[in-house]
Amino acid sequence: GSLKARAAARGMLAGCAVNAELFRQDEKFRNLLAEQYSILVPENCLKWNILRPTPDTYSFTDADSLVAFAETHGMKVRGHNFVWHEALPKWFASTVTKENARKFLVDHITTVGGRYKGKIHSWDVVNEAIWMKDGRADGMRSSSPWFEMLGPEYIDIAFRTAREVDPKALLTYNEYGIEYDTEEEGRKRVATLALLRRMKAANVPLDALGIQSHLHADGKTDFGKGIHELMDGARALGLQVFVTEMDVNDDKVTSDDIAQRDQIVADVYHDYLTTALRGPEVKAVLTWGASDRNTWLNHGTKFRPLHPDRLQRPLPFDVDYAPKKAFFAMRDSF
């Protein structure tokens, strides 16, 4: 059985992030997507830096073809994302000011959300707004240009605009570094849940929490407490939960034996997902990529592998699209 079939049997969706270049060039990859998944999310092509080459132009080609592909194959699409402190175009810093920031934000969401209105399962309206290292008691990432220009209200503006533009899309707050039972992630988790409570109390339209779930295979597989805190918090606020960007960084695994490495990665998939999926709030599980052929952990600028001669194997399918142990662990967790 496929990931999507096993997920559907539990009333859930199985998905992955799609890299536009691979999608364009590789029919085998497109076939894998159609065969295995019920929901897709573009890895980069809905981000400001890709979508907005100049302040007045939009470049929708890649996003359009992914949305059309999903429609043809009866798959859903997540939108990622409207607001993030990263992936902003070069012109942004010199063009967007305190005075016009609100207009830029509202226009962006209106244009992009409007184009895909009715076709998006859920939008990551705001991505990664909590960052404890900026030192604020509420944990808000005050170094984000959006916060610098608009204050914490940028979040409310974004969600309210998104609801107006596409009332059927589930509006999601997406965050990372809140999964593990460590002190640091615990503090970030508390701040994230406090933000969601603050939003609900202010009647900001919010439907779901996205837990990115960028995990690492470094021996720690104790997810119980933190995951339960997230599930309890989401349930209390009536939110759905999506695992939005799962992968397992295996850079710290010392063994070079592929079978052994893949087993360690698969064990993290198993432990994490069996814990997370105990919560009936979880409606979708997406990995950040499908195949090790394309993972940001091997290409990303900031996250180059420690051992560049040894590519990472963080995803369910190998570079030739064969299912790995992580695939079976993910499938069996549904």
Where does this chain bind ligand XIL (CB under 6 A)? 43-44, 127, 176, 212, 245, 296, 300
How far is the first Cα of the chain from the last one, in angstroms, to the nearest whole number?
Answer: 12
DSSP of 196-249: HHHHHHTT----EEEE--EEE-SS----HHHHHHHHHHHHHTT-EEEEEEEEEE
Q: Is the CB of residue 221 less than 8 Å from the CB of residue 273? A: no
| 317 burial type by CB count under 10 A (0-12 exposed, 13-18 middle, 19+ buried) | buried
Query: What whole-number distance in Å separates Cα of residue 110 and Cα of residue 270?
Result: 40
Of the pair 43, 281, the CB lying nearest ligand XIL is at 43
Residue tagged active-site, from 43, 128, 175, 179: 128
Q: CA 268 to CA 192: how far, in whole Å?
A: 24
Min dist. Cβ of residue 148 to ligand XIL (A): 20
- Minimum Å gap between C-beta 235 and ligand XIL is 24
By beta-carbon proximity to ligand XIL, the closer residue of 151 and 300 is 300
Question: Is 171 within 8 Å of 162 (Cβ atoms)?
Answer: yes
Query: Cβ 332 to ligand XIL, closest distance in Å?
Result: 26
CA-CA distance, 59 to 115, in Å (whole number)?
12
Closest approach of ligand XIL to the CB of residue 169, in Å? 17
29 or 334: CB nearest ligand XIL: 29
Question: Which member of 175, 179, 245, 281 is catalytic?
Answer: 245
- Closest-approach residue to ligand XIL (CB): 296
Is 245 designated active site? Answer: yes
In DSSP notation, 144-207 reads SHHHHHHTTHHHHHHHHHHHHH-TTSEEEEEE-S-SSSSHHHHHHHHHHHHHHHHHHHTT----
Residue 6, both tokens? 């096993």
Secondary structure tally for the chain: helices H, strands E: 14, 9
In this structure, are residues 43 and 51 in contact, taking their beta carbons and an 8 Å threshold?
no
> Smallest distance, Å, CB 176 to ligand XIL?
6
Q: How many other C-beta atoms are found inside a 10 Å radius of the C-beta of residue 171? A: 25
Residue number, 44 or 249, with CB nearest to ligand XIL: 44
Distances (CA, A) of 248 to 28, 140, 215, 265, 310: 23, 27, 5, 6, 15
* DSSP state at residue 85: S
Nearer to ligand XIL, 285 or 331 (CB): 285
CB of 186 to ligand XIL, least distance (A): 20
Cβ of residue 43: shortest distance to ligand XIL, in angstroms?
Answer: 5
129 vs 331, beta carbon nearer ligand XIL: 129
Nearer to ligand XIL, 184 or 232 (CB): 184
Give the residue numbers marked as catalytic.
128, 245
